[in-house]
Amino acid sequence: MPPRNDGIGASVRRKEDLRFLTGRGMYVDDVARPGQLYAYILRSPHPHAELARIDTSKAAKADGVIAVFTGADMAKDNVGGLPCGWAIKSKDGSPMKEPPHPPLAIGRVRYVGDQVAVVIAETYAAAKDAAELIDVEYRPLPAVASITDAIKPGAPQIWDIAPSNTCYDWELGDKAATDAAFQKAYKVARIELVNNRLIPNAMEPRAAIGDFDPASGDYTLYTTSQNPHVIRLLMGAFVLHIPESKLRVYAPDVGGGFGSKIYHYAEEAIVTWAAGKVKRPVKWTAERAESFMSDAHGRDHVTTAELALDKDGKFLGLRVSTLANLGAYLSTFSTCIPTYLYATLLAGVYTTPAIYCEVRAVFTNTVPVDAYRGAGRPEATYLLERLVDVAAREMNMDRIEIRRKNFIPNDAFPYQTPVALQYDSGNYHATLDQALKASDWAGFPKRREEARRRGKLRGIGVSTYIEACGIAPSNIAGALGARAGLFETAEVRVHPTGTVTVFTGCHSHGQGHETTYAQLVAEGLGIPIENVEVVHGDTAKIPFGMGTYGSRSLAVGGSAIVKAMDKVIRKGKKIAAHLLEAAEADIEFKDGKFTVAGTDKSKALVDISLAAYVPHNYPLEELEPGLDETAFYDPKNFTFPAGCHIAEVEIDPETGATEVVNFTAVDDVGRVINPMIVEGQVQGGVAQGIGQALLESCVYDQSGQLLTGSMMDYTMPRASDVPSIGVATHTTLCTHNPLGVKGCGEVGAIGSPPAVINAIIDALAPYGVHDIDMPATPLRIWQTIRNAQPAQAAE
Amino acid sequence: MTQVSMTINGKPASADVENRTLLVQLLREKLGLTGTHVGCDTSQCGACVVHVNGRSVKSCTILAVQCQDANITTVEGLATDGKLHPMQEAFRDNHGLQCGFCTPGMLMSALDLVQQNPDPSEREIREWLEGNLCRCTGYHNIVKSIQAGAAAMRGARAAAE
């Protein structure tokens, strides 16, 4: 057989592209249900206020209005609050403070954008117009938006149950051992930094349609979700009390997520519940302004970290103290992001023997904060890779040399870190070497000199990162506080004529699963890729699923598909043995054929599937008809993609304008199924990382008003802001999943921000600048240069 | 309500609209042409770009009533006789899309660029895309796609001449 061009390792063009390129995608807002009504959600303009009175009577009488509902109406129906999916315990063993989160506010609003009421009308314009007639008496309360302000004595209190606005005060690692390491340190490198708050801004705004069939009592929710089964579970069990058997959640084409579409949002519950009340479909689509003030935000840490070093530059201990902003309410996975997805990564790719991290999570009058591409791991990587550069400077060592000296050696795997994780495989020298070569690190001094002659400051920066993906072994996650399992589900249905439909519990919102998964099946069952269809997103079709986030779709979802295929092949062998009158043990399966070993007697997959569905000549007494297998795969460990990112920047010292002139990413994402898709994932992630490093920042003013509330105010990376991004991979296989894959969705956003900032600090070295916070905007860089100049002049 | 008539993708279309109705609302909500998307409310994202009388226009920023008698092309009008336009083909070959939401606007915008500048440089493409946001691709493959699409269109023109 000639080598396949549609199996594992091939850059197959994407199956899903045709519909997107011709305008035939179906996103939630494209869905029009017969008789559908439109919802407009009235949101709080105040960051913190008592809801003294809500008078909806005028709005209810407006033209086209069908109903107006408030939190009181939902409470009358015993609608529950939006649940948090991960319980964290404080240092003293006490549970985190878990305030209620009603879909429509009751008694008090706690951030600008908090839901106050919903108007349901014949048209969206009528609903929006009528919302202006709702008379809300707000009694404003003092508010606090910044983490550092929120923990000050006398700060406004957001929840009575959470003194000092503290949700939890958590720790990880061996404090005594870490303190002892600092005792014997030759030098200590120290850094204080802010991980800037980001607004995800997937290009498709969130949308939801609730539909209710009075004849059957069935509810359907169309929603922009990364994990429809999780939404069905959370909304059905905790909020609306609808059994799974009566609730279908369907996330069709979804226009990007980056984490922001994982969570169960109030609007999903509101339209589903309202559809039941008014007995007609109810549609809500966010305006972009609503995305800014209601999609969960990301990052927002303030951190102090110290690294103890011996006289040779070996890392002895790491001590980290972080304040993490959770916003006004607990979003679905908010609580695990600054803890188990953050502090567990603080070993990085280094052999640091003692690590201690404490995290205080704080409520503020801001939009809830949750996972955004990378989720915890970018925060860990940013602090560690900035700190390693500081350490190199303190020790007067080369930045590359100090990294190499501390890398976990290639022969040390499996490697147990002091912060709970066990890395299964990696080769950090290899990705570093490859990136140094690809970026021509050695030739940099010449380029710097050439730039200097043009009046530009040129700098180069490196980051050698690791992250944890493939979330997650359910028992470990459960022991750490997860309130759900984190396996994945797949059904592989071989049809009578040998074509295959794969049902996956993961969800594609840009990742290309319809192609990558089809490649797995084409290779695994030896059939052309055209004969494989992948179905995702619909709880009515798919047995179960935990969804797509944390770069888990291939490592966990793909492994589930492999397991289901294994079952298909096992059953196929039994059928083939019967048809070929051979012993089952003698049947081999290869390239789509079941063959009696050592003979030319064989049956194709289609012969087997046909026999399974037309079982005339079939071992019916021992074997059920049909060829349709389901598997649930629970991973044995996380996966650990790692790599090296190198950024090269040029700064105009007169304006502070910065250009990323070169970017090199060399990532170890395990086995690569579709190189084209992997490169695209890395490039997209790097652009988001460059966005965080140079452009993006969510800004609240002191009073809690959101200042960056539109795309006019919040700087989204544009095509001219990012360079061409050179991507390469170096593979070490994951040792514990059947594909050897690690995940590639987040590496770009994790590895790149410190590379860019380290490059900027390198460029500003002539001014004696050692520190700058993200985003390093032209203004900030210009100010930094101006502030530094007197110091330089004095030297 | 005002009646508006225009040509959309080569076919006559008319509808009764409120005066405040935007072109994108007419396309999506009245005519079922949901390939054109709305990604923002400040004319920044470009997911709604269509061609009005041959030039790229953000359909969220023009009223339907302004398009009386206009000739409109949307993403649904690019492929002919089941064959993708070379620019669509180039986006497919070069992985110029991920979630697909910005793609219709990117295609329509790219075609206007190539109409004016048949052989745009990387810099010219990046600057032209000022009004089109993508959150997935990092633009790398969009730029590659537009270069490849422009080359294919030049090739097709040369072959026709």
ipTM, two decimals = 0.98
In this prediction the pTM is: 0.97
Chain A segment 665-704 residues within 8 A of B by beta carbon are: 676-677, 679-680, 683-688
A687 → chain B, closest CA residue = B138
Q: Is residue A596 part of a domain?
A: yes
Residue with tokens 């490859």: A434
| pLDDT, tens only, A531-577 | 999 999 999 999 999 999 999 999 999 999 999 999 999 999 999 99
| pLDDT, tens only, B100-129 | 999 999 999 999 999 999 999 999 999 999
Structure tokens at A644: 């090296």
DSSP B104-124: HHHHHHHHHHHHH-SS--HHH
Domain with CATH 3.10.20.30 in chain B: 2-77
CA A776 to chain centre: 24
| pLDDT score recorded for residue A795 | 45
| pLDDT score recorded for residue B81 | 87
B123 → chain A, closest CA residue = A720
Structure tokens at B36: 């054109």
- Contact across the interface for A20 and B88, Cβ inside 8 Å: no
Structure tokens at A624: 């059920």
Contact A67, A40 (CB under 8 A): no
Q: Is residue A433 part of a domain?
A: no
B148 in contact with A, Cβ within 8 Å: no
Helix then strand then coil, % of chain A, to nearest 5: 35, 25, 45
- Contact across the interface for B97 and A21, Cβ inside 8 Å: yes
Query: Which residues of chain A register pLDDT less than 50?
Result: 793-795
Name the residue among A44, A103, A323 with its Cα closest to residue A197. A323
A440/B161: higher pLDDT = A440
- Contact across the interface for B135 and A16, Cβ inside 8 Å: no
| pLDDT score recorded for residue B161 | 85
| pLDDT score recorded for residue B82 | 86
CA A746 to chain centre: 7
Q: Which residues of B touch A288 (CB under 8 A)?
A: 39-42, 45
Three-state DSSP state, A574: helix
Three-state DSSP state, A245: helix
- Contact across the interface for B37 and A201, Cβ inside 8 Å: no
Residue with tokens 């439909």: A501
Residue type for position A666: V
Fold of B2-77: Ubiquitin-like (UB roll) (3.10.20)
Q: Which residues of A touch B97 (CB under 8 A)?
A: 17, 20-21
| pLDDT score recorded for residue A594 | 98
Out of B41, B75, B95, whose CB is closest to A680? B95
Instruction: Tell me whether residue A61 is exposed, middle or buried, using C-beta atoms within 10 angstroms of its C-beta: 0 to 12, 13 to 18, 19 or more.
Output: exposed
Out of A204, A683, A712, whose CB is closest to B140? A683
Q: How far is B153 from chain A (nearest CA, A)?
A: 17
| pLDDT score recorded for residue A794 | 44
Q: At A507, which CATH number?
A: 3.30.365.10
Number of CB pairs < 8 Å for A and B? 179
Domain count across chain A: 1
| Cα–Cα distance, A103 to A629 (Å, whole number) | 39
Average pLDDT, chain A: 97
Contact A760, A767 (CB under 8 A): no
Q: Buried (b) or exposed (e) across A174-207, using 16+ Cβ within 10 A?
A: bbeebeebbeebeeebebebbbbbbbbbbbbbbb
| Cα–Cα distance, A683 to A726 (Å, whole number) | 8
| Cα–Cα distance, A349 to A381 (Å, whole number) | 10
Cα–Cα distance list, A668 to A262, A408, A549, A703, A734 (Å): 26, 15, 19, 45, 10
In this structure, what is the dihedral angle of CA atoms B101, B103, B105, B108, given to the nearest 10 degrees? -160
Name the residue among A60, A61, A65, A99 with its Cα closest to residue A83. A99
Name the residue among A347, A346, A344, A351 with its Cα closest to residue A411. A351
**Of the CATH numbers 1.10.1040.10, 1.10.150.120, 1.50.10.10, 3.40.50.150, which one belongs to the domain with range B86-160?**
1.10.150.120
| Cα–Cα distance, A640 to A645 (Å, whole number) | 16
Domain with CATH 1.10.150.120 in chain B: 86-160
Give the domain extent around A544: 17-23+487-633
| pLDDT score recorded for residue A1 | 56
Contact A594, A603 (CB under 8 A): yes
Name the residue among A611, A607, A581 with its Cα closest to residue A592. A607
